[in-house]
Structure 1
Amino acid sequence: MSRSLPRGRRPRLAAAAAALGLLAPLAACSSASTAVEACMAQQAVSATSGEVEGTYLGEGDAEGVKLTLKASDTRTGGTVTVHHWPTGDWYESELGETFDGSGTWDVEGGTRPGDHARVHLSFTAPELFLRGYTLDMLSVATDAERTYLYEDDDPDVCPAFRLRLT
């Protein structure tokens, strides 16, 4: 036989349970690194070109994208080659056409508390894609087993545009 609560307490318990259900997702996403860590790896505070060098394949919105970073003699960058890289203004909800291209890249670490490492891309071919018309900055997430480059656009959700080092 189950014990029931007096009628006056039922609505308060239901309201408390509903409030907890609404607040739980907020607690799970309380920091930018939480959402990233939950689906990929920890945001890297710093990185060298040797740590991020390699071939990356797209996941999520980046499905079908391939990015290859080759390090040069410097510690901070090298050359980049992309296949099926998206175009478009990043404030729009959908990605535009894709292109195959090349250029250079460099990596920089966080300079202030809370910052993290980023890879900057500069496309030289094709010339059509000037700065701002395609994604040219990716954040770095890494752990002992995985390295990701991703668009850091909404800190409360798993990044939709992400590439994993193969």
Structure 2
Amino acid sequence: MTRVRMTGRRARLLTAATALALLSPLASCSSASTAVEACMGKQAVSATTGELEGTYTGEAHAKGVKITLKASDTGTGGTVTVRNWPTGSWYKSELGATFDGSGTWDVLSGTGSDEYGHVQLSFTEPERFLQDDTLDSLSIAKDSQRIYLYEDDDPDVCPTFRLRRA
């Protein structure tokens, strides 16, 4: 094995390049919103009920799903209706059985640098669901032209369960 000793500027450049190469995979994962931003817009820390009110249709794994958010007169949350909404704790891997129903919704703002706002759903029809019986929390992504509600399950890929406001 031959040893090469480098000094000065060339050694510092090599050390900096090596450090950059080692850290670059970490840099690509450092922002949880990177994959989301690439396909839907920036993750929202907060949103108002007025911004979110409307009808959303499903894309990717949520194709055929529809959710309508109607704001209440009080300015916080309102009523929700869904069509073809997923049931069961296994909805994450495939859409599976679905239901049409209704209930209420509210917007919860993020509270820290790593937390983003989301829409909390509470279904009352056809019956009240227990935890893990259905998807009841959706993250929010928006840009100047689009608003999405989506399941935030893997920050490194574009969410497959996403709904775009029509």
Indicate the TM-score class for this superposition, using the shorter chain for normalisation: 0.7 to 0.9
| Letter matched to residue 59 of structure 1 | E
| Letter matched to residue 81 of structure 2 | T
**Match for residue 88 of structure 1?**
88
Q: Is the 8 A contact 1:55 1:165 kept in 2?
A: yes
**Match for residue 114 of structure 2?**
114
Structure 1 spans left out of the alignment, 5+ residues: 1-22
**Match for residue 98 of structure 2?**
98
Q: Count the aligned residue pairs.
A: 147
Cα displacement (A) at 1:105: 0.3
Q: How many percent of aligned residue pairs carry the same amino acid?
A: 72
Q: Distance in 1 between matches of 2:118 and 2:129?
A: 20
**Match for residue 70 of structure 2?**
70
**Match for residue 40 of structure 2?**
40
User: Structure 1 runs of 4+ off > 3 angstroms?
Assistant: 23-30
Structure 2 spans left out of the alignment, 5+ residues: 1-22
TM-score normalised over the length of structure 2 = 0.81
| Letter matched to residue 30 of structure 1 | S
Q: Distance in 1 between matches of 2:62 and 2:40?
A: 14
**Match for residue 123 of structure 1?**
123
TM-score normalised over the length of structure 1 = 0.81
Change (3 A) 1:80 1:149: same
Q: Is the 8 A contact 1:117 1:139 kept in 2?
A: yes
Q: Is the 8 A contact 1:29 1:35 kept in 2?
A: no
Cα displacement (A) at 1:96: 2.5
RMSD between aligned alpha carbons? 2.2
Deviations 1:41-66 (A, max 9, x none): 10011111101110000001100000
